[in-house]
């Protein structure tokens, strides 16, 4: 069984902690019957929570048939497995014990976080977020990425002759931003490749590099469209980010408290004690 560590604190745990969205249906509404077994809307919502993260924003109504059919197939398979007596298999019992441990571990953390996920905790985390964003700047750049310096030098000559930067980027850039005229939009200081960012920051707004800039991706001709102070998101816009940050902090707090007063010994693969 995996210990109480950060991997369980991702989107799945946040979903378990968060309040389920409101639906007109009652959780007890029966959505299907499989023999003597019934499937409720609560089962549908639980199945949705187990789906990959990309489905988190999809309205349940859109994937409702998929979820119900999946639950029906699962009930049929489970019934057949029980008919064959697989529930008594030693390996199955071992896996059930392991899964039970993972579930109750998850619920322990979720309960701890839920009880402490207050508006005050979110506001305090927001204040930290705002403080961390202060003083940061953003730059808006375009670039034309070329495979060799000769091609980059040719682009600079065309720009000096009056060619439009965005049109040249669309026509000649080998980078994925070419269809957008080389537009990389606004990026926070420190997020770009150092050589690229250093050259871009040295430019005046509206200017482009007079010498090509080489990075591991190739040769760049860079234009600085603008620079501005980074503005933190509003409290409302940052809700999910804040919930994730508070969840991680509280889970770490719980794990730390569980370690207090407990003798823990670790050994390397040769059986030697690890400090």
At 35-74, the pLDDT tens digits run 999 999 999 999 988 888 777 778 888 899 999 999 999 9
How many helical (H) and strand (E) elements, i.e. helices and strands, does the chain have? 9, 8
φ, ψ dihedrals at 118, nearest 5°: -95, 165
Instruction: Report the share of the chain in percent with pLDDT over 70.
Output: 91
**Residue 196 to residue 200: CA distance in whole angstroms:** 6
Give the number of other CB atoms < 10 A from CB of residue 108. Answer: 14
Report whether pLDDT(4) > 50. no
Closest CA to 213 of 203, 226, 225, 227: 203
pLDDT at 271: 92
φ, ψ dihedrals at 96, nearest 5°: -65, -45
Closest CA to 139 of 81, 85, 185, 171: 185
More confident residue, 146 or 135: 146
Give the right CATH number for 138-227 from 3.60.21.10, 3.10.50.40, 3.90.1150.10, 1.10.1760.20: 3.10.50.40
8: pLDDT confidence band, cut at 50, 70 and 90?
very low
Q: What is the pTM of this model?
A: 0.60
Report whether pLDDT(31) > 80. yes
At 78-113, the pLDDT tens digits run 999 999 999 999 999 999 999 999 999 999 999 999
Q: Where are the alpha helices (DSSP H) in the chain?
A: 11-17, 41-49, 60-83, 90-116, 119-133, 149-160, 165-172, 194-201, 239-259
Q: Where do the domains of the chain lie?
A: 6-116, 138-227
**Residue 145 to residue 151: CA distance in whole angstroms:** 9
23: pLDDT confidence band, cut at 50, 70 and 90?
low
**Residue 156 to residue 171: CA distance in whole angstroms:** 14
* Residue with tokens 């408290």, as numbered in its chain: 257
């Amino acid at each position: 069984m995996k210990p109480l560590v950060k991997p369980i604190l991702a989107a799945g745990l946040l979903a378990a902690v968060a309040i389920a969205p409101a639906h007109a249906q009652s959780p007890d509404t029966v959505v299907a019957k499989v023999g003597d077994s019934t499937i409720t809307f609560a089962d549908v919502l639980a199945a949705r929570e187990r789906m990959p993260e990309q489905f988190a924003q999809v309205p349940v109504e859109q994937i409702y048939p998929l979820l119900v059919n999946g639950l029906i197939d699962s009930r049929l398979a489970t019934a057949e497995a029980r008919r064959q007596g697989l529930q008594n298999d030693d390996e199955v019992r071992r896996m059930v014990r392991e899964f039970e441990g993972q579930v109750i571990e998850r619920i322990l953390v979720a309960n701890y976080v839920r009880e402490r996920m207050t508006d005050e905790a979110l506001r305090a985390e927001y204040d930290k977020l705002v403080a961390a964003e202060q003083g940061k700047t953003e730059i808006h750049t375009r670039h034309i990425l070329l495979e060799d310096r000769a091609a980059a030098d040719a682009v600079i000559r065309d720009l000096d002759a009056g060619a439009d930067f965005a049109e040249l980027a669309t026509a000649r850039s080998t980078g994925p931003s070419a269809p957008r005229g080389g537009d990389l939009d606004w990026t926070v200081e420190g997020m770009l490749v150092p050589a690229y960012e250093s050259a871009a920051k040295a430019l005046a707004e509206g200017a482009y590099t007079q010498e090509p800039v080489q990075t591991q991706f190739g040769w760049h001709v860079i234009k600085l469209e603008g620079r501005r102070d980074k503005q933190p998101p509003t409290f409302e816009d940052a809700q999910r980010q804040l919930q994730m940050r508070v969840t991680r902090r509280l889970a770490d707090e719980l794990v730390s408290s569980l370690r207090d007063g407990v003798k823990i010994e670790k050994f390397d693969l040769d059986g030697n004690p690890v400090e």
